[in-house]
Amino acid sequence: MLDLDFHPSGRHFLQIPGPSPVPDRILRAISLPTIDHRGPEFGALGLKVLTGIQTVFRTRHPVVIYPASGTGAWEGALVNTLSPGDHVVMYETGHFASLWAKMATRLGLSVELMEWSGEDKQLPHAGGWRRGVQAEQIEQRLRLDTQHRIKAVCVVHNETSTGVTSDIASVRRAIDAARHPALLMVDTISGLASVDYRHDEWGVDVSVAGSQKGLMLPPGISFNALSPRALEASQGARLPRAFWAWDDMLAANKNGYFPYTPNTNLLYGLAESLDMLLAEGLENVFARHQRWAAAVRAAVQAWDLPIQCADARVYSPVLTGVITPPGVDADELRRLIYERFDLSLGMGLGKVKGRMFRIGHLGDSNDLSLLATLAGCEMGLRLMGVELAASGVQAAMGYFSAHRPSSALRKVA
């Protein structure tokens, strides 16, 4: 048997902002025998997941499911809609926004990376990584582009590296206000199914998502939700594409099938995930994550440590970044916490490496698993010699005790 936890006993606490803890039901579902992806049962499964995922994206338009992890869906969004040398505006809100820009450059696009221009005392070199997309900045930029050389605006909805959830509707309003035809592409890899997301209502052209976050699946499948304009753009787009091509995909999807071998067993998991999410109700799912996030922030505030996200309007319901005091290496802290308490936390990435850590509060979690997580953090911080203003665990317990969850128990009288 594989040795997947080097600790002698107990269940690992996977509190990184994805992969999220996978429910037992889903793990059982993905272990069912692989079926013929051209047989009748597969067609029924395909139609079920293709329809269900539309509900989660809140779209009436097609959603492409790739048998590839999330990074692939980024590539799918770009190569289906753009041509070599096309100019795109991307907005750096964190590490994943910058990685997407790096990919776009690598694929031969001309990338203009915008950034927040203010001053941040806590992290002077990474102030933009503490805020969301500034829609007015984008509007100004687009107004200048009178020749419409900018083909797309690409933003990250929920920045997994920082814990900032940008206001996507405001970006759409900015594009419209500038009367600019650029496509709006949004990475909601770590947002979808945890935070409110409205592909159609917000006028998103391509939404990119993955399986291992709010959908509570292992990694391995990813998504492109499309708009009619995105589909139109794909007609003329000249970046080479084959695996990622939407046209073959959509043709085969009509009957629930795929043009090449799909990731069958993860689709079993997706069917189970959709059953769970839609039974609970998306509104309840979102409220659940908001409540968890509030409790975790109450803990960080009790510790009197700075939250990575400096703008309370865009706190992420999915994860919370915590800045460690000067001199405390966040990676050493994480390692100590992992070794002593069997808890995985997210590391600081790129510009904030070693300066912060991330607490995931998404997926198959509950009040007690988050309190356990906060207890692990609190013990680790103290063992590293950090003076804490107060107990964050107590603060979170107070919050949870005072705020009932919105989703009721299913059947208890």
**Interactions with a second copy, residue window 324-383 (CB under 8 A):** 338-344, 347, 364-369, 371-373, 375-376, 378-379, 382-383
Q: Least Å distance between CB 135 and a second copy? A: 27
Of 125 and 403, nearer to a second copy (C-beta) is 403
Q: How many CB atoms lie within 10 A of CB 325?
A: 17
Minimum CB distance to a second copy smaller for 284 or for 301 = 284
Burial (0-12, 13-18, 19+ Cβ within 10 Å), 24: exposed
The Cα 100–Cα 78 span in angstroms is: 10
Q: Which is nearer to a second copy, 62 or 70 (by Cβ)?
A: 70
Whether the CA torsion 340, 346, 349, 351 is positive or negative: it is negative
Determine if 84 is a binding residue for a second copy (CB under 8 A): yes
Pairing of strands 63-66, 87-91: unpaired
Residue 229, Ramachandran bin (φ over 0: left; ψ between -120 and 50: alpha; else beta): alpha
Does residue number 169 form part of the binding site for a second copy (CB under 8 A)? no
Query: Residue 268 or 315: which CB sits closer to a second copy?
Result: 268
| Residue 173 Cβ vs a second copy, minimum distance, rounded to whole Å | 31
Residue 21 β-bridge partners: none
Binding-residue total with a second copy (CB under 8 A): 116
- Binding residue for a second copy, selected from 56, 62, 64, 75, defined by CB under 8 A: 75
Alpha-carbon dihedral sign for residues 330, 334, 336, 340? positive
**315 phi and psi, to 5 degrees?**
-55, 135
Are 153 and 101 contacting, i.e. CB atoms less than 8 angstroms apart? no
x/- letters, 211..230, toward a second copy (CB under 8 A): -x-----xxx----------
242 near a second copy (CB under 8 A): yes
Closer CB to a second copy, 37 or 141, in the complex: 37
For a second copy, the binding residue among 62, 63, 66, 126 (CB under 8 A) is 66
Q: Provide the mask over 175-214, with x wherever binding to a second copy is found by CB under 8 A and - wherever it is not.
A: -----------------------------------x-x--
| DSSP per residue, 16-60 | SSSSPPPPHHHHHHHTSPP--TTSHHHHHHHHHHHHHHHHHHT-S
Q: Is 249 in the site for a second copy (CB under 8 A)?
A: no
Which range touches a second copy (CB under 8 A), out of 62-70, 167-175, 226-234, 350-358? Answer: 62-70
Amino acid code (one letter) for 230: A
Minimum CB separation of residue 180 from a second copy in Å reads 26
The single residue among 110, 137, 301, 391 that binds a second copy, judged by CB under 8 A, is: 391
Query: Residue ranges of the alpha helices (H) in 145-189?
Result: 168-177
- The residue within the footprint of a second copy, chosen from 35, 177, 252, 282 (CB under 8 A), is 35
SS3 112: strand
Binder to a second copy among 34, 117, 146, 147 (CB under 8 A)?
34
Closest approach, Cβ 112 to a second copy, in A, equals 18
- Give the distance, in angstroms, between the CA of residue 393 and the centroid of all CA atoms in the same chain: 26
Distance CA 364, CA 372 (A): 14
Which of 239/310 has CB closer to a second copy? 239
170 is a site residue for a second copy (CB under 8 A): no
- At its nearest, how many Å lie between a second copy and the CB of residue 136? 31
**Closest CB to a second copy among residues 55, 394:** 394
| DSSP, residue by residue, 329-365 | -HHHHHHHHHHHH-EEEEEP-GGGTTTEEEEE--SS-
Name which of residues 282 to 311 contact a second copy (CB under 8 A).
284-285, 288
Please report, as residue ranges, which positions from 93 to 112 form the binding site for a second copy (by CB under 8 A): 103, 106-108
For residues 374 and 361, give the distance between their C-alpha atoms in angstroms, rounded to a whole number.
11
Residue 51 as a binder of a second copy (CB under 8 A): the answer is no
